[in-house]
Amino acid sequence: MKNTQENKQIGRLVIVAYRLPFKIVREGEGVNLFQNSGGLVSAVLSLVGDGAQNPIVSGDKIQWIGYADNSPEELEGLSLENDSFKAHPVFIPDDVNENYYEGFCNDLIWPLCHYFPTHARFDDAYFQAYQQANELFFEKLDEIIQPGDIVWVQDYQLMLLPQMIRKKHPDVKVGFFFHIPFPSYELFRMLPVQWRKAIVEGIIGADLVGFHTNDYVEYFLKAVRMVLGHGNKLHYINLSNRIVKIDSFPISIDFNKFNDAYTDPEVVKERELARDMLKEKIIFSVDRLDYSKGILHRLYGFERFLEENPNWHGRVAFVMVVVPSRDTIDRYQQMKSEIDQTVGRINADYGNINWQPIIYQYRSMTFAELVGMYSTSDVALITPVRDGMNLVCKEYVASRQDKHGVLILSEMAGAAAELGEALIINPLDKQNIADSIKLALDMPIEEQEKRMKVMRSRIREYDVFAWTNDFFTQITMIEQEHEKLKQVFLTDQGIGEIRDAYRASKNRILFFDYDGTLAPIVADPAKAIVSREVKQLISTFAESDTVVIISGRDRHFLSELFLDLPVHIIAEHGALIKAKGSSEWVLNESYEENWKESIQPIMDLYAKRCPGAVVEEKETSLAWHYRTAEDREYATRRAQELVWQLKNYIQPELNLQIIDGNKVVEVKKTAFNKGTAAKDLVETGSYDFIMAMGDDKTDEDMFIELPDTAYTIKVGDMLSAARAHLRSQEEVFSFLSKIKD
Ligand code: GDG
């Protein structure tokens, strides 16, 4: 990593998050900064300074932009920095912040993303404030940004910011991380059209967008596809002038901090204190007061366990700590009183003078108390009904240096994807919770150790430092990817170089795509006809060179157009080949039939529902065309749905690929493409000049497969693996004339 950066200016790391990394407290003339010990703070610290494993960013202090609840006057003239961070406070007027943070963020996005749409409030004033606040963050960033800086934007409070940065500072590297679940499209689409558009556009202003799990990545990609019509290839979204990578980065914790704390005297003291007080087996949970954390469901599950297992009465205590949060809000107050009542009821029903089944505390804990409880509890019961990741479960595992203890974890937490050795439960199923509690309490020590060992080594390996490192390595790789895909538009000099090489060579092969390259793209595909001049030019080339027309069109269309020319024709993306001078079409040998009957009905159905769209059955593929659709926007949405459905439907063993082309969705066998077909031809001769031209996504296969010495030319400005670009199809004639001149 170091080498690739050596000659580049390494910039500063700029974090933008709703909160600053420390609390600012005025004291007389000065100020006290109380640094948070949160995961993100220690994670980003690992990127700078002497301990940094990865000099992606400079060793300068981390610049951190965040909201300050102090007034501007209060902080005027004060230096807000400590050894590691320099803070740049953003001041948001109270009324705006109310609608922005309490409103749009916590009263709409939070419930929607945690699958509580009934709690979501859609208020125009909220969205207005959200835009305003994001702009205030941007203004602050705009004041301090320098060339080479890497900006890392955090979470759902700042979804519009990446795009704002991209517009004004197109070359700045921007990462975005989403800490909560990204919901399935059915939920996301509940947002008003303009809002969801602004959100998706805002987020993909970044170069790299991170989520905790692959599911969230998939949901987001679908939102991008449905809302903006941008498809993706694996993890990449190809916008016309840049690519965005969307990937999963499961956030983690500082494993060593929790592991080492086991022997910390304060933690030891807390552990002994807990053990002195509680002789029973201990079940423990800790979370913020929030409906997403499943606190009530957990209580119902524990109640069911008590009901069914009288032998455990008096022998188990459930220590449930709820950390105060947002409890001035009605919904949270109500939830709190429901929790209070439920705990009271269970304790009254099952407890006795010597034993209280639930020890409930509504307070926050010190770090020593927390790890003391983690490391002494026999079971951690973590049951969110939805959680982006959930760090508490990872902390519990890391704190168990003794490898004892059992983790019960909700399948709705992002962490469940990584911690398969936990007892995984459905948090809404009280029987499932009750059964798992029993299983956990009865689990032999050897089994506990076996499970803990695997989970601990996984968290140790991918700790929060590996997480940050991974994210930043990916950002740098995107830059390299961009370099590779950079558009070089051909100038007279570039054209001159190709002409010289053409003239200096003897045995030449030239590949021409048809639609969008030799012929213009028009609404009716049947009317896309190559002009007389271009055809004449191709014919002149064919006198001295091997010319190949390579297209996705069927053989009849191409035969008719080029029958009189001495050229090779490749139809249906490489499936059918007719050699120069022959009248025989040869089917690619890897082609197998019998797949169309399962795909055609799906395409037909989509065509019926989309006026103007048609299904074309080619010999070796099926194509759903929507260039002729009456309502283009509607058809684009339908096309995206079709691609999505086909992707889910097509099993890998069918070896089919879906091509999301220019106003066409096409399904064909994977065994061949324009790339394999072009490569096969090149290998049959000893060519000293190879040129390939194309405008479509399918031409990329050709650009990639041909040798590096080939002159590959992309028509249009879409990112491409080709060496050079022409701006449009109209330039093709003049370009070819200059080469032949
Ligand atoms: C969001 C997403 C995602 C809690 N109470 C005390 C205390 N804590 C610490 C825990 C843990 C953290 O707070 C809670 O983290 P979670 O991940 O469980 O949940 P959220 O705060 O909702 O975080 C979540 C996370 O972002 C990261 O991306 O995992 O899904 O919702 O570290 O230890 N710490 C102390 N006393 C307490 O009373 N010392």
Q: How far does residue 502's CA lie from ligand 1's centre (Å)?
A: 64
CA distances from 45 to 100, 154, 612 (A): 29, 15, 57
Q: How far apart are CA 594 and CA 616, in angstroms?
A: 17
DSSP structural state of residue 26: E
According to the model, what pLDDT value does residue 183 have?
98
For ligand 1, atom 8, name the residue with the nearest CA: 287
- Ligand 1 atom closest to 290 (CA): 22
pLDDT number for residue 6: 42
Residue 236: DSSP 8-state: E
Nearest ligand 1 atom to the CA of 391 is 17
CA 414 to ligand 1 center in whole angstroms:
13
* Site residues for ligand 1, CB cut-off 6 Å: 39, 179-180, 251, 286, 288, 323, 364-365, 367, 370, 387-392, 395
30-87 per-position pLDDT tens digit: 888 888 766 688 778 777 655 555 556 666 889 999 998 888 888 888 889 988 899 9
**Tokens at 181, concatenated:** 């679940």
The tokens for 272 are 């002994």
**What confidence score (pLDDT) does residue 278 get?**
93
pLDDT at 55: 54
Nearest 5 degrees, angle CA 554-CA 557-CA 561? 135
Buried b / exposed e over 129-166, threshold 16 CB at 10 Å, is: bbbebbebbbebbeeebeeebbbbbbbbbbbbbbbbbb
The whole-number pLDDT of residue 631 equals: 81
In the numeric block, the tokens 């022997």 are attached to 263
Nearest CA to ligand 1 atom 33: 392
User: Which H/E stretch holds residue 456?
Assistant: helix 445-461
Q: Tell me which of 107, 513, 545, 696 is the catalytic residue.
A: 513
Helices and strands in the chain, H and E counts: 27, 28
Taking the centre of ligand 1 as the mean of its atom positions, its distance from the CA of residue 393, in whole angstroms, is 10
Q: Which two tokens stand for residue 516?
A: 């969008």
pLDDT of residue 320: 98
- Token digits of residue 709: 């010495």
**Assigned token pair, 384:** 């969110």
The DSSP code sequence of 671-726 is T--HHHHHHHHHHTS--SEEEEEE-STTHHHHHHHS-TTSEEEEESSS--SSSEEE
Instruction: Report the pLDDT value the prediction gives residue 240, as an integer from 0 to 100.
Output: 65
pLDDT at 35: 80
DSSP label at residue 558: H
Residue 1 to residues 359, 401, 549, 622, Cα–Cα distance (Å): 51, 33, 43, 45
pTM over 0.75: yes
Ligand 1 atom 30, closest CA:
388
Is 513 a catalytic site residue?
Answer: yes
Distance 398 CA to ligand 1 centre (A): 15
The pick from 105, 389, 419, 464 for probing ligand 1's pocket by mutation, whose C-beta has the most ligand atoms within 8 angstroms, reads 389
Cα(403) to centroid of ligand 1, in Å?
Answer: 22
pLDDT for 652: 76
In angstroms, rounded to a whole number, what is the distance separating the alpha carbons of residues 655 and 66? 50
> What stretches in the chain show pLDDT beneath 50?
1-7
Instruction: Name the residue with tokens 């987001």.
Output: 220
The span from the CA of 410 to the CA of 384, in Å, is 6
Using alpha carbons, list the distances in angstroms from residue 23 to 60, 327, 336, 348, 365.
21, 21, 27, 42, 18
pLDDT for the residue 589: 65
Protein residue with its CA nearest to atom 20 in ligand 1? 390
